[in-house]
């Protein structure tokens, strides 16, 4: 039997290592979120963080927007989902995290959930501290891709009646990051939060190459009956800092439970998607 020829990567492809067919499927603007499920052995460290994202979704972004060997940065790395994905996809990684406990869990997660060979070939560094200070250590223009999920304002401190918060409390799990005043999740005023987040991402982007990509995975939210279009507000702020919007993909969270918010008086959505805000440094 004849071997089928393996599709080749176009030699002009300077962005990634995908074939034309792989590239095409990733160009569709709606993605289904894929997680391991909370009972999976490799989800036990991730579960200790109140707002992790799925490393499999980040892996797709990394494969689409960088090449093997490239350097990926996450300035809000939490328990290291981005670094796990980077190592498994053959990219080097740097992550910043304010809280020592999360930074230690990120290290532990890499040791436990990534084969040693992958960590040798694609080293990952977790730096503990404030992103704004740590960004000064980056060599300009060395990072190919920034991908991150920042704090969603101080929303984790607010949602007293939120079902997910109640479930975590019942299981003795933390429901916010902590009380450090440098934590962007502790900024009370929303406009100030957007401003500070924009400045923090601008500082981190000093490390980013010219025309490099900045990807933010963020969800909109409601607070006291007001709908906050977080994805649009931070995209607008980054345009002020020399970025151009390339795409606003939807990450559909179809596994989430539906609650009858507002019924039968007012339309209140179950927000079952996040936005993948893809921007490019000018």
Ligand X SMILES: C[S@@+](CC[C@H](N)C(=O)[O-])C[C@H]1O[C@@H](n2cnc3c(N)ncnc32)[C@H](O)[C@@H]1O
Binding site for ligand X (CB under 6 A): 49, 51-53, 76-79, 81, 96-99, 102, 130-131, 149-151, 177, 182-185
- Whichever of 18 and 126 has its CB closer to ligand X, that residue is 126
- Whichever of 152 and 243 has its CB closer to ligand X, that residue is 152
Distance (Å, whole) CA 91 – CA 121: 9
The owner of tokens 């963080």 is: 49
- First-last CA distance in the chain: 50
* Minimum CB–partner distance for residue 134 and ligand X (Å): 7
- Whichever of 49 and 273 has its CB closer to ligand X, that residue is 49
| 162: its two tokens | 């939120």
**Under a CB-based contact definition with an 8 Å cutoff, are residues 175 and 165 in contact?**
yes
Could you give the 3-state DSSP secondary structure of residue 119? helix
* Minimum CB–partner distance for residue 218 and ligand X (Å): 9
* Minimum CB–partner distance for residue 182 and ligand X (Å): 5
**Under a CB-based contact definition with an 8 Å cutoff, are residues 274 and 33 in contact?**
yes
* Minimum CB–partner distance for residue 99 and ligand X (Å): 5
Distance (Å, whole) CA 282 – CA 280: 6
**Cβ count near 126 (within 10 Å):** 23
* Minimum CB–partner distance for residue 220 and ligand X (Å): 15
Distance (Å, whole) CA 251 – CA 57: 9
The owner of tokens 């007012």 is: 266
Cα–Cα–Cα angle for 154, 160, 166, rounded to 5 degrees = 115
- Whichever of 80 and 212 has its CB closer to ligand X, that residue is 80
- Whichever of 16 and 149 has its CB closer to ligand X, that residue is 149
* Minimum CB–partner distance for residue 124 and ligand X (Å): 13
Which residue's C-beta sits nearest to ligand X? 78
**Under a CB-based contact definition with an 8 Å cutoff, are residues 148 and 94 in contact?**
no
- Whichever of 53 and 243 has its CB closer to ligand X, that residue is 53
């Amino acid at each position: 039997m004849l071997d089928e020829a393996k599709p080749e990567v176009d030699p002009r492809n300077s962005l990634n290592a995908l074939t034309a067919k792989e590239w095409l499927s990733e160009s569709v603007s709606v993605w289904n979120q894929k997680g391991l499920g909370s009972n999976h052995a490799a989800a036990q460290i991730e579960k200790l963080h109140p707002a992790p994202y799925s490393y499999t979704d980040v892996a797709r972004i990394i494969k689409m927007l960088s090449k093997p060997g490239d350097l990926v940065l996450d300035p809000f790395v939490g328990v290291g989902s981005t670094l796990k994905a980077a190592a498994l996809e053959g990219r080097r990684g740097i992550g910043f995290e304010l809280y020592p406990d999360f930074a230690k869990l990120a290290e532990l997660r890499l040791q436990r959930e990534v084969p040693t060979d992958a960590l040798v070939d694609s080293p990952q560094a977790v730096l503990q501290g404030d992103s704004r200070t740590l960004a000064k250590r980056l060599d300009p223009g060395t990072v190919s891709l920034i991908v991150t999920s920042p704090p969603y304002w101080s929303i984790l401190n607010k949602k007293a009646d939120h079902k997910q918060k109640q479930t975590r409390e019942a299981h003795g799990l933390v429901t916010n990051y902590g009380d450090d005043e440098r934590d962007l999740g502790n900024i009370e005023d929303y406009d100030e939060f957007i401003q500070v987040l924009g400045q923090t991402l601008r500082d981190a982007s000093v490390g980013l190459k010219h025309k490099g990509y900045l990807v933010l995975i963020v969800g909109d939210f409601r607070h006291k009956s007001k709908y906050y279009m977080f994805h649009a507000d931070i995209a607008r702020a980054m345009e002020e800092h020399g970025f151009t919007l390339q795409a606003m993909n939807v990450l559909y969270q179809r596994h989430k439970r539906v609650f009858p918010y507002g019924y039968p008086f007012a339309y209140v959505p179950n927000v079952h998607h996040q936005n993948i805000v893809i921007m490019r440094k000018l």
